[in-house]
Amino acid sequence: MTRLVPIFRRVQSRQTEIVLSAVTEAELLVRPYREDDLEALERIDGLLDSEGIAVAPVSRKIGRRSAVLRARHGLHMADAIIVATAIETGCNAIVGNDKMWRRVDEIAYVHLDEIER
């Protein structure tokens, strides 16, 4: 989580905006639900409700783009949906920790390790 701090600082200073897939939100919530961690659930809700952060639903257009990405690049479906969301919502780049996403040439990719702290 500390690797994300520079990104959230940029959001707070209005230098950038973040668009998350609803799939990413679901992934963030798994551990708190599994551990019945209400405090973590509230923190995640507060973060995702912050100005400069949007959660995009999975539309048919994103679903279709996901199928193309999965077929072309061999991504797992959840990853394909996340990448498709970035492409279809007009993001300049996708940030993540999955090196398989480097295969995707339809959008710029930034690995979390490459972000300045």
pLDDT (tens digit, 9 = 90+) per residue, 65-94? 999 999 999 999 999 999 999 999 999 999
The parent domain of residue 34 ranges over 2-114
Assign 116 a pLDDT band (cuts: 50, 70, 90). Answer: low
* Threshold 0.85, pTM exceeds: yes
Supply the pLDDT for residue 5: 74
The closest of 73, 6, 75, 12 to 47, measured between CA atoms, is 12
| pLDDT at 38 exceeding the cut of 60 | yes
Determine the Cα angle at 92 with ends 60 and 17, to 5°.
90
| pLDDT at 2 exceeding the cut of 70 | no
Q: Rg (Cα) of the chain, in Å, rounded?
A: 14
Residue 39, domain CATH: 3.40.50.1010
| pLDDT at 1 exceeding the cut of 60 | no
Residue-wise pLDDT for 50-63, tens only, equals: 999 999 999 999 99
Burial class, 22, CB count within 10 angstroms (exposed 0-12 / middle 13-18 / buried 19+): middle
CA 52 to chain CA mean position, Å: 14
The closest of 104, 53, 111 to 80, measured between CA atoms, is 104
> Kind and range of the H or E element at 21?
strand 18-21
Q: Structurally, how many domains does the chain consist of? A: 1
